[in-house]
Amino acid sequence: MAVKDAVRERGQFSSRFGFITAATGSAVGLGNIWGFPTQTASHGGGAFVLVYLVLAFLLAYPALMAELIIGRHTRSNMVSALPQLTTSPMLKIVGRATGLFGVVTASLILSFYAIVASWLMVQVPAALADIGGQGPAENWLNQPSLLRDSLFCGLFSLLTAGIVARGVTAGIERWSTRLMPALVLLILGLVGTVLTLPGAMEGLRLYLIPNFNLLTGPSLLTSAMGQAFFSLSLGVGTMLVYGSYVSKADNLPLTGAYVALIDTGIAFLAGLLIIPAMFVAQQRGIEIYNSDNTLIAGPDLILQTLPSLFNSLGFAGAFIGLIFFLLLTIAALTSSISMLEVPVTFVLEKFKISRYHATWLVASIIFSLSLLILNNFDQLFTGVIRLTTTYSQPLLGVMLCVFAGWVLHRNKLLSEISKGFAGAKTSLFWKIWPSYIRFICPLLIILMFVQNTRS
């Protein structure tokens, strides 16, 4: 009875499927559909894909498991989870500080992610205005302005908060299970359409055939690692908090593997869409290279090159554009709810206020941060992204590995993994993972960090 009450109070995903859709919903986002294909394009196509796949499973998956295990073991938010793993007062302080750092980082990531998401979301009504022949409205929606961006960022934040305020099952899980299948269908439909257009095969070749000459240079490795980390939502406690809602009857290593596999699969699919689409655009006379001969990759790709392609395809293009931006909006939304959940769980458990109040309070603060960034765009935007993704995320990643590998007692670790996984003790996972998370993961992350901050 006591266990049931505790579950009811904190919330728990209703099934393994529910958790997998929510966690893949978090993982699959702009990082997959935008980041992965463009990183691939600028790092030698198929060669990057190979390196990424190896790193996703050798580095990101073990780190994901660290978060899920700590989360389910402590059934707690990011700030009170780590201190629970130790009896040492000193380590408790370090754990709490790490947790707070995670909560702040998650909030900052959301503050810029919501801005990027709103640029994509606004394209949905713009495409509708185009289809409906509403020229002036379409022009206004297509023209970046502080008013437009603030309004749509507000709308996106409202949607995010609206889902999180409903709670784990009625909000996060329900909306993830509605939106994720839609996302998979939309992306499959788009890949199928784009691959039939002239020029697509050239893109496909670049994407799939590795050019090992481009494999040299440390930047490829660090880019692939950073990409894998961002894509699996690691470091800031997102997966820790989602892990805290997983049933003790679930096989955690297997469930985590599904999440990593689906996340990587969808990133791969997105590459099958974006890279060929660029070469279709080139066939139609649209510039796809920068002046230094690298493929266009940043916001220009998504907000100019691809829309020009859709325009050049006439009426059908407007529909393709509509579906493309709907896809991006859905991907961003299921990710943003997982970011918001990190500070919300902390605030509601720490201050013992209702989820409803905690959500709207935290969402308002983060939206104010987004507005601050929008109003001081040149000074803040790239700075906040760099601070959070290049510095905070890897540092936090190391701390989480250290807490899972060195602080959490080995017997407790094994007993947590054994829940829902009877053969854990003799499994390959248990033979490899503990030393991995102690030595290899922190070392690799530190290497990536040093490399990234020097460049």
Which residues would be at the binding site for ligand TRP (CB under 6 A)?
Answer: 26-27, 29-32, 106, 109, 230-231, 233, 235-236, 238, 335, 338-339
**Residue 388 exposed, middle or buried by CB count within 10 Å (0-12, 13-18, 19+):** buried
- Altogether, the residues listed in the chain come to a count of 455
CB of 191 or CB of 232, closer to ligand TRP: 232
In contact, 116 and 30? CB cutoff 8 Å: yes
Distance between CA atoms of residues 203 and 205, nearest Å: 5
CB of 134 to ligand TRP, least distance (A): 31
Dig out the tokens for 268 from the structure.
Answer: 């791969």
Cβ-based nearer residue to ligand TRP, 234 or 313: 234
Is the four-CA dihedral 71, 76, 78, 80 of positive or negative sign?
negative
Residue whose CB is less far from ligand TRP, 175 or 230? 230
User: Shortest Cβ distance from residue 30 to ligand TRP (Å)?
Assistant: 4
207/230 with CB nearer ligand TRP: 230
Q: Of 236 and 302, which CB lies nearer to ligand TRP in the complex structure?
A: 236
Beta-bridged to residue 295, according to DSSP, are: 289
Least distance CB 130 / ligand TRP (angstroms)? 27
Structure tokens at 47: 């060669």
**Amino acid symbol at 2:** A
Residue by residue, DSSP assigns 357-390 as HHHHHHHHHHHHHHHHHHHTHHHHHHHHHIIIII
CB 219 within 8 A of CB 44: no
Nearer to ligand TRP, 187 or 281 (CB): 187
Minimum Å gap between C-beta 338 and ligand TRP is: 5
The distance of closest approach from Cβ of residue 293 to ligand TRP in the complex, given in angstroms and rounded to an integer, is 28
Shortest distance, position 35 Cβ to ligand TRP, whole Å: 7
Name which of 47 and 103 has its Cβ closer to ligand TRP.
103
CA-nearest of 117, 122, 114 to 148 is 122
3-class secondary structure, 23 = helix
Shortest reach from residue 32's CB to ligand TRP, in Å: 5
